[in-house]
Structure 1
């Protein structure tokens, strides 16, 4: 009989954001009350934006616009703001978040097409090449870097080079990749990079952002606004040009993000990627040792999430609820990945966390097996 493990001394988040954060980040959320129109808050906006540009690979000619909202807020700001009235968007779709990009465009009645590869299938770059050559009316391409619905890491460098060769503009959802995966907005020809605080940057939920060359932001002046709050050009003119927020930001969350970005830069994105990669290997080896099949082949996986098939006749709810009893939170998948669960290793996870997780996993499986014997 398996001995029940002790409950973790904290809730261990194995979901793809929010994540377990550093103590310095958690302490920063308790910063004093302040007014967003004061110089200290304006300095904070500038500090966070500069660090985001640095983490993204941008230089002095890049800027970042910050939004109080989840990553989807920044995605909606970009998609609704950058495609001109005579433009057309092509969405590359190989998972749930590719589908979401198309849904955003549809809501705003932006002319859009879809190049669908199918869930857990690589992006069809050869077909994209042909499509762009045949359709000069397409002005923008939108894609997801890390498609967390399957755990697939899409080839942003090859994609960016292809889009740039055709003279089009690339919108990249880097929400689940920025801070741990290889990404350089200049070298990868990313015109609009979208990210969020609470995943691989290891901040807290509530802030998202758009990083782009300043000239791209300036050029939006000629694009009629489709929204009020998410008007990217208006937010750029306020935050970057006038150094004041357009609307009231979540200042305490920004303080936490500022600290999280300091920690990211101190560690280095490449080093964080190696740390995440080591944790991912531990998870994958532990699952495979237990006979659990993984969704993707090794060369398609990111370094921060593992999608695996449910086994032993267990449902997701049985596995989730059993693990949560011991303090470990896993994540479900969307409908098209039925029978699969997700384990993320973003954030401040330790080797002891994973040892404890697998002890709990073994206990939950053993209980299920004995109850169905």
Structure 2
């Protein structure tokens, strides 16, 4: 980052309190400087194999599972999965209670995949009993799509309970774990996940540009009979090339993949439970500080994930004023989508510490004081 892009008075770094990309460890950043190499050489194949294995482990997968790497953001892996897994005579039930649930619906809709959309409303929990009834009533549904952590509201959806219902009905569960994987408990077997989509640059603390789909080899092999929905994002094509030919289907982002391997090593060493505790401690510090300042929260306690806090902009100012003021102080927060005007997100993913949270809260005080009469 050039000094020209860093706010005045902050010549070290921007503290990223947006829900990805995140502040990464210096070893992850250094891995981006790996030597130039050809993606068709054995060393590139070895890197890809190692990253696939480590990505599988972070999902709780075992020798029955593997991961397929994609060059692109998490949405690329989502589209690869959701456009590839539903057969011509199948149908997918999309569970939607926020912006990213709507994104799943948009993906299957644009591909013309037969689907049912269950909208629960933003900020509302998913009704597991309603899902149970929908599956019982409609045997044509073969798959269910779920967002684990709906960051548009900060809500953690009931993955295990839904997984149990889907498995009991003999259907397949596809999970958008983009904003949860690495910090929230998730296990391919225990949660009955058939398809798990992850990305490098959120709770795994890597850099943008690599995403992946984890599934059992049995599920992936069965895609041979499913006509691909896209050319570049053909999940089965990528799987066969990476797993059988030990080569990428198309040119991968090798430097970003090298950084992801470093990030995965760090994530596996810390453990999902350990990282979850670290994140939760930071989230609680943020929430306690904002509560002391009288800020209103979007969701009640008990429904929030451990890495994002959604709150209302203080009365008397607009979001853009808050954002720009905080960025001038060296802190980046994130707005929500237009359905929740006046709400912003404070994420605590990545390499952050207590001093970052305390600095943010102090900067928040200074910025808010410019626009309101509030004195904390």
Name the TM tier (shorter chain).
over 0.9
| 1:171 corresponds to | 174
Normalising to structure 1: TM-score of the pair? 0.97
Match of 1:14 in 2: 17
Deviation at 1:9, TM superposition (A): 3.0
Which residue matches 1:75?
A: 78
Cα shift readout 1:44-69 (whole Å, capped 9, x = no counterpart): 01000100111100001101000000
1:90 aligns with 2:79: no
Q: Which residue of 2 aligns with 1:296?
A: 299
Aligned residues: 367
CA distance in 2, matches of 1:216, 1:325: 49
Deviation at 1:311, TM superposition (A): 1.2
Segments of structure 2 that go 5 or more residues without pairing to the other structure are 1-7
Q: Is 1:50–2:48 an aligned residue pair? A: no
Q: Quick check: 1:309 aligned with 2:312?
A: yes
Task: Check if 1:111 corresponds to 2:114.
Answer: yes
Report if aligned partners of 1:8, 1:356 keep a CA contact under 8 Å in 2.
no
The one-character-per-residue Cα deviations of 1:239-262 (angstroms, maximum 9, x if unpaired) are: 012211000000000000000000
Secondary structure at the aligned position of 1:167 is classed as: coil
1:10 CA drift (Å): 1.2
1:224 to 2:223 alignment: no
Q: Which residue of 2 aligns with 1:318?
A: 321
2:113 aligned counterpart, secondary structure: coil
Secondary structure of the residue that 1:300 maps to in structure 2? coil
Residue 252 of structure 1 is matched in structure 2 by 255
> Post-superposition shift, 1:31?
0.4
Distance in 1 of aligned mates of 2:25 and 2:190: 30
Counterpart-to-counterpart distance in 2, 1:248 and 1:207: 12
Deviates more, 1:350-359 or 1:284-293: 350-359
Cα gap change, 1:216 to 1:311, in 2 (>3 Å) = same
Cα shift at 1:312: 2.8
1:136-285 equivalent positions in 2, closer than 5 A: 136-285=139-288
Measured against aligned partners, the alpha-carbon deviations of 1:165-204 in whole angstroms (never above 9, x if no partner) come to: 0000000000000000010011000000000000000000
- Deviation digits for residues 319-346 of structure 1, max 9, x if unmatched? 0000000110000000111110000000
Q: 1:351 aligns with which of 339, 350, 354?
A: 354
Q: 2:43 aligns with which of 26, 40, 44?
A: 40
Aligned to 2:4: none
* Offset from partner CA, 1:332-373 (integer Å, 9 cap, x none): 0001111100000000001111111111110001111269xx
Query: What's 1:132 paired with?
Result: 135
Any conservation in 2 of the 1:8–1:328 contact (CA below 8 Å)? no
Q: Is the 8 A contact 1:312 1:365 kept in 2?
A: no
**2:314/2:368 contact within 8 Å kept:** no
- Distance in 1 (alpha carbons) for counterparts of 2:12 and 2:240: 46
**Structure 1: stretches of 5+ with no match in the other structure:** none
Q: Secondary structure at the match of 2:84?
A: helix
Query: Against the structure 1 CA distance between its residues 322 and 280, is the aligned structure 2 distance closer, same or farther, given a 3 Å change threshold?
Result: same
